[in-house]
Amino acid sequence: MRIQAKIFLVVFPLVIVTLGLAETASYFSAVNGVTRIAQTFLGFKASELKKYADSQWDLLVENNYDSRPDMIAAAREAVISYAASITLSETEIVAALDAAGNLAAATSPVEISDEERSLLLPLLEEDGLKSAKLGGRDRVFWTFYFIPFQWHLLLTEERHVFYADAEKIGLQTALTLAFSLAAAAVLLVLFSRRLTKPLGRVIAAMNGIISGADLSARVPVEYRDETGHLALTFNTMTAELEKAYEQIKRHAFESALAGKKEERIRKIFQKYVPKDLIDKFFASPESMLVGDNRTLAILFSDIRSFTTISEGLEPDELVKNLNRYFSGQVDIIMNRGGIVDKYIGDAIMAIWGAPVQHDDDALQSVAAGLEMIEAVKGFNKKQNELGKPEFHIGIGINYGVVTVGNIGSERKMDYTVIGDMVNLASRMEGLTKTYHEELLISESLFEKLRGLEAVTLPSAASNTAGDPGAALSVRLLDTVAVKGKTRGVKIYTARRGLTENEARGWALHNDGMELYYGRAFNEAAAKFAAALALIPGDYNAENLLARCRDYAVNPPPADWDGVEVMKTK
């Protein structure tokens, strides 16, 4: 047998063993590293989800809502919505299971069979990383039990997706090994005749690399011949393997870091910008620089005599009181699908219909206004317990076309709305002081609500006084031209749960308004007097009664249209 063949038969098996062990070691090291990073990232997301769920529950407890099923349901929906925001792939699902293993909620549709449930329940007894079949697919999931909701929360990913990077490393390792063995065989055939003692040193160096599993180790190049070339080739191969492994680790780390960074950015900016707006920005950043015209509901809310209140409190106490007040008011607005556009001192400006529009934006804005007024009563009860001044608010709501978008300069922009309808909403809030009502809505908003069949305008003449607590009842108060305008608009107040006397009084009042605009002042005065008898001390009935009695003696001009021109804001 030729020496070349003997050398080949001696050396080539060593090359195979050496490269095979090195590749195997690198493969398992890479797979373990990638899997560990994936598991850590999944566990991190589970930790973040638990933190968010804890914050939602703490918020319920702090506001004494932990016994209200509707608020608990809203908190659960918020947790599932947050869970959906942290999923990074179409196959990733966050599911909530009750104690019996039944599906309570999920970020994506999934069906769990009885057989799968029976196998899954024992795995839910302890938190951590588990594997099971869900919805007919093998999945890897991280589970933890959230006691307040009595939910087992599972962050799941399909097994083949979870281990995709590891499988890719395996394929790359096999290809690299095959290429390396082919290259080694060719080199051995070409240079085996001239291999002598330095070959032993190369083999010894190879064995050292194998035993140490250190891809950074290199074979010394002692000669400029075939043996030296073999050493150089081996060094190149291990360097490329080391580079590939480092790239894989860096890519996995950067992916995890990017996801965490985006999540952190979202979390920070959701305190200042609506979630829907952030989602829209990430989906299409360039579209956020373009404004458009939309029909929105605009709400202004203001604290009465706030200057007097602020003079009686220390700055830190004032801030604490305002923050507690704003917290309750903002929660109501957001729970009703609105967004807080801005704080103007002690005032709140909120909108419904942007950046996402809904069919019931008008109704939700009025419902929010009524709930905000009701919430102030609870706030004042706490204020009395603390010996602090009470807050009293006025709310004005309008509905119409405005310009919405990012408005400002390149250095500072606000997502806001502008237009005449915004100014009218602000004036409506100011008129609450004039008409001694906590809530005023505009004519355009009333017409929208009537189109949705969401309101009744009680009228004794048409027998629509109805059940006093059955619907959102509306009372026409006046037709006004706000400061700076000549055209009059009708203004209304709205309420739920009228007493029987209030329902009858509102019906008489609305009938009186029709007679008033028809210049039948004596008949209108009789209606307002009857309404006042049912609702003693009602400011608007008294005001219109006095107005009708005056007009009955001193009739207005022939072109009188019933519009009251406001001289102040």
Average pLDDT over residues 323-331: 94
C-alpha to C-alpha distances, 124 to 42, 86, 114, 136, nearest whole angstrom: 16, 22, 15, 18
Which one is predicted more confidently, 182 or 502?
502
Query: For residue 282, is pLDDT > 90?
Result: no
Query: For residue 465, is pLDDT > 60?
Result: no
Query: For residue 388, is pLDDT > 80?
Result: yes
pLDDT at 53: 86
Which one is predicted more confidently, 322 or 43?
322
Average pLDDT over residues 103-119: 85
pLDDT at 469: 43
pLDDT at 206: 64
- What pLDDT, in 10s, does the model give residues 361-385? 999 999 999 999 999 999 999 999 9
Return mean pLDDT, the chain.
81
Q: Which residues contact 37 (CB under 8 A, 6 or more apart)?
A: 249, 252, 253, 256
Query: For residue 269, is pLDDT > 50?
Result: no
pLDDT at 111: 85
- What pLDDT, in 10s, does the model give residues 35-66? 677 678 778 888 888 898 899 899 888 888 88
Query: For residue 264, is pLDDT > 80?
Result: no
pTM for the full model? 0.53
Q: Let me know how many helices (H) and strands (E) the chain has, helices first.
A: 16, 15
Average pLDDT over residues 214-230: 65
Query: For residue 198, is pLDDT > 70?
Result: no
Average pLDDT over residues 201-218: 62
> Residue 527: which pLDDT band, with cuts at 50, 70 and 90?
very high
Instruction: Give per-residue burial for 385-399: e unless 16+ CB within 10 Å, then b.
Output: eeebbebebbbbbbb
Average pLDDT over residues 220-231: 67
Average pLDDT over residues 350-362: 90
Question: Could you give all domains of the chain from N- to C-terminal order, each with its CATH number?
Answer: 1-86+163-269 (no CATH), 100-158 (no CATH), 292-441 (3.30.70.1230), 454-569 (no CATH)
Q: Is 200 helix (H, G, I), strand (E, B) or coil?
A: helix
> Residue 275: which pLDDT band, with cuts at 50, 70 and 90?
low
Query: For residue 508, is pLDDT > 80?
Result: yes
> Residue 75: which pLDDT band, with cuts at 50, 70 and 90?
confident
pLDDT at 138: 87
- Which residues sit opposite 405 in a β-bridge? 416
C-alpha to C-alpha distances, 290 to 281, 285, 293, nearest whole angstrom: 12, 10, 10
C-alpha to C-alpha distances, 162 to 5, 112, 142, 248, 523, nearest whole angstrom: 47, 20, 12, 15, 79
Angle at 159 between CA 156 and CA 165, to 5 degrees: 110
CA dihedral 181, 186, 188, 191 (to 10 degrees): -150
> Residue 567: which pLDDT band, with cuts at 50, 70 and 90?
low
> Residue 234: which pLDDT band, with cuts at 50, 70 and 90?
low
d(CA 189, CA 546): 116
pLDDT at 468: 45
